[in-house]
Amino acid sequence: MPLLELKHISRSFPHAKGTLPVIEDLSFTVEEGEFVAVVGPSGCGKSTMLRIINGLMEPTSGQVLYKGKQVDGINLECALVFQSFALMPWLSVKANIELGLEARGVAPNEREKRASVYIDKVGLDGFEEAYPRELSGGMKQRVGLARALAVEPQLLLMDEPFSALDALTAITLREELLDLWQDKTMPVHNIIMVTHIIEEAVELADRILVLSTGPGRLVADLKVELPRPRDRRKEGFNALTDKVFSLIEERA
């Protein structure tokens, strides 16, 4: 049984003239242990798709099956990492990370233990009591990541997680994310990442889904067979990047 199955998902939004379709008839499955990247031009509904998977938004039509069951409301086995970090400015780093644990009714001392484990994993030691506004962008996204990992989700959803960061910070964080994902002691083995940076998708993912714009449809479903660690300067890397690029350009 696949971990996640999207069946004929469509979503439209009310608009000045009737409704605006954002996603149309989108179907795909995600198997256990996969790192899937979803790429497409802006306005292709990839963020909307992520919110439908999480249960933040309902599809206009179609079904989302998680482990064979229809998703109803928020799927608490998922955790979302935001492009804008979405940290509570009035909570310390530690309190932000404990947010999801508190929601799941984890006892205070257990909360603390787990928070400190993930603070350690993402390299935030010494910043436990800092407030988000005192941190750099890269550090903030580390908090966002730790907050998502701390609830130990089966499926990690990432919405353009490195797009708001400068290029050098993004490179570091990508490497750290890969390390975490390959770390067998980590409970997360599935990631769906939405991005518009094609190189990022090629570097990280096992599989790349390409969406077209207006409305979003599935254009291609590519396996990435390149061996890890992947090197941007190698032949295969660029060939795949070019291929994804031309797929998007054809449909734009």
Partner 1 sequence: MATRPTNAKRATGVLIALLIIAIVLAMFFAYRRSAGLGHLHGPRLHVSLSHLPYYAFCSFMRMTAAYVLALIFSIVYGLLAAKGRAWERVMLPAIDIAQSVPVVGFFPAAIYFFVSLAHGRFGVEMAAVFLIFTSQAWNMALGVFESVKTLPNDSIEALEAFGATGWLRLKRLLLPACVPKLVYNSILSWVAGWYYLIACEIIAVGPAHYELPGLGSYLMKAADKGRTGELITGLLALLAIIILMDGIVWQPLSEWAEKFRYEFAASSEPMRALGMLAVLGSVGPTVLKIFRNLTRPVAGTIHRALASTPPFEAAHHPALQRAWRIVRIGLIATLLFIVTKGLLDGTIALLRTLRQPWPSAVRQIPAATGASLLRMLAAYAISLAWTIPCAIAASESPRFARRLAPLAEIVGSMPATALFPLIVIFVIKVTGGMNLASILLILTGMQWYVLFNLLAGISQVPADLKEAVRSFGLSRFATWRKLTLPAILPSLITGSITAWGGGWNALILSEYFVYRSTTYKVFGLGAMLDDATYQTGNGLMILLTLLSMVFVVLVLNRLVWRRLYDIATDRYRIDY
Kindly list the residues in this chain that would bind partner 1 in the complex (CB under 8 A).
51, 54, 56, 74, 76, 78-80, 82, 84-91, 99-100, 102-104, 131-133, 140, 147, 151
Residue (190 or 212) nearer to partner 1, CB: 190
Q: How far is the CB of 4 from partner 1 (least distance, A)?
A: 16
| Residue whose CB is less far from partner 1, 61 or 84 | 84
CA 224 to chain centre: 18
Polymer length of the chain: 252
The answer to whether the CB of 10 falls within 8 A of the CB of 62 is: yes
At 138, list the tokens. 């890269």
Distance, CA of 125 to CA of 108 (rounded, Å): 20
Cβ-based nearer residue to partner 1, 105 or 126: 105
Residue 45 or 100 with smaller CB distance to partner 1: 100
Smallest gap, in angstroms, from Cβ of residue 227 to partner 1?
Answer: 34
Nearer to partner 1, 45 or 132 (CB): 132
Residue 131 to residue 92: CA distance in whole angstroms:
5
Closest CB to partner 1 among 122 and 208?
122
- 187 sits in the region (left: phi over 0; alpha: psi -120 to 50; else beta) called alpha
Write out the two tokens for 1.
């049984």
Integer Cα distance of 104 and 10 in angstroms? 31
DSSP assignment letter at 227: P
State the nearest-atom distance from the C-beta of 2 to partner 1, in Å: 22
Alpha-carbon span 194 to 196, nearest angstrom = 7
Shortest spacing between CB 48 and partner 1, in angstroms: 12
Shortest Å, Cβ 100 to partner 1: 4
Q: Provide CB contacts within 8 A for 216, sequence distance 6+.
A: 22, 23, 24, 26, 40, 44, 45, 46, 48, 49
Rounded to the nearest whole angstrom, what is the least distance from the CB of residue 228 to partner 1 in the complex? 29
HSE-CB of 159 using CA atoms within 13 angstroms: 22
- For the bound state, the minimum distance from the C-beta of residue 217 to partner 1, rounded and expressed in Å, comes to 25
> Closer CB to partner 1, residue 91 or residue 220?
91
